[in-house]
Amino acid sequence: MAEITAASVKELRERTGAGMMDCKKALAENNGEMEAAIDWLRAKGLSAAAKKAGRTAAEGLVGAAIEGTRGALVEVNSETDFVAKNELFQDFVRNVAKLALDNGTDVEALAAAQYPNGGTVQDKLTDNIAKIGENQSLRRAAVLEVNQGAVVAYVHNQVAPNLGKIGVLVALESAAPSATLNELGRHIAQHVAAAHPQALDADSLDPALVERERSIAMEKAKESGKPDNIIEKMVEGGLAKFRKENALLTQLFVRDNKTPIADVVSAAAKEAGVPIALAGFVRFQLGEGIERKQEDFAAEVAAAAGTNKAEPVA
């Protein structure tokens, strides 16, 4: 069997637009022969799916799965919100979330995992692209696990159970009863969905994010015209407020807007009679960070008519 090199996979991807896993398989099935691999992809209908790969996929669904003391979130994107209502697409997201529990957060490894009823996750995704007629992509996955306690999922704007626009996982380490942990976890997860904390505590905030806020606070403080020692105090005060408002444990609970989340957890632990630790959280919002393509339909019509712009009639 011929050696399948990274260079040959790259070339095949560039020539066909097919996915990496499909290109590897095509070359393996055809003893490394490029032209035969191209024909193989065409015969499997993968080249047709590849034509859609350049289109922006910023809609879709976030899916959640819970099993024992583990929980997973996945985001699968599509081009339009309409696809989120497609049962074929929903079933795929639901199954991939379950597979993430055992296959972890690496998207490439998850794509290569065996899909129920045969083939891989990538195979099924490619098949769905051809059937549904839109570009789709497995974007990311997250898994939380505790030794003892509960991982609780909450999905906001649900279109089906555990499928929606915003997904949250909350991990609670405790020997408290499951009913107590599930209720507390759901309340905190709803808070996370609404308040969008950046980290569990102030020390866990991204240093780059904090430094950016420092620069912004410094510019604002300098405009006040106050002495340097006062400016420094203003900056530090602003940063302290930023840390408090962006760390989950110090955020004010959205249900009453006065109790820090750390105190909400402490009160639940006191009532349960055993310690409860908020061990972590994950929040996925559909399409966050994806640059959506802005369509210029007037330009497209003008281009199709052979002009640069639609000119007004004199």
Q: Return the domain boundaries, the chain.
A: 6-50, 59-202+247-285, 206-246
Contacts of 233 (CB under 8 A, 6+ apart): none
Average pLDDT over residues 285-303: 57
Residue 239 to residue 45: CA distance in whole angstroms: 55
State the burial class of residue 36 (Cβ atoms within 10 Å of its Cβ: 0-12, 13-18, 19+). middle
The CATH number of 6-50, from 3.40.50.300, 3.20.20.140, 1.10.8.10, 3.40.50.1820, is 1.10.8.10
Fold of 59-202+247-285: Tetrahydropterin Synthase; Chain A (3.30.479)
In the chain, the N- to C-terminal Cα span, in Å, equals 69
User: CA separation (Å) from 178 to 146, 153, 246, 263?
Assistant: 13, 14, 28, 20
The C-alpha atoms of residue 216 and residue 62 are separated, in whole angstroms, by 33
pLDDT at 292: 53
Which value, in Å, is the radius of gyration of the alpha carbons in the chain? 25
More confident residue, 309 or 175: 175
Distance CA 293, CA 25 (A): 31
Two domains, one topology: 6-50 and 59-202+247-285: no
Band of residue 1 on the pLDDT scale cut at 50, 70, 90? low
Please name the residue ranges forming H helices in 104-197: 107-111, 121-132, 178-195
Q: Is residue 76 within 8 Å of residue 140, measured between CB atoms?
A: no
**Model pLDDT, residue 46:** 63
pLDDT score of 229: 84
pLDDT mean over 199-216: 90
- Per the listing, tokens 């908020």 go with 278
- HSE-CB at 187 with a 13 A cutoff on CA atoms is 17
Residue 115 near residue 82 (C-beta atoms within 8 A): no
* This model's pTM is above 0.95: no
Q: What's the mean pLDDT when you consider all of the chain?
A: 86
What's the pLDDT at 199? 96
144: its two tokens: 């939380």
Q: What is the average pLDDT across 199-225?
A: 86
CB-side neighbour CA atoms (13 Å) of 291: 2
Examine the pLDDT at 9 and tell me if it is beyond 80: yes
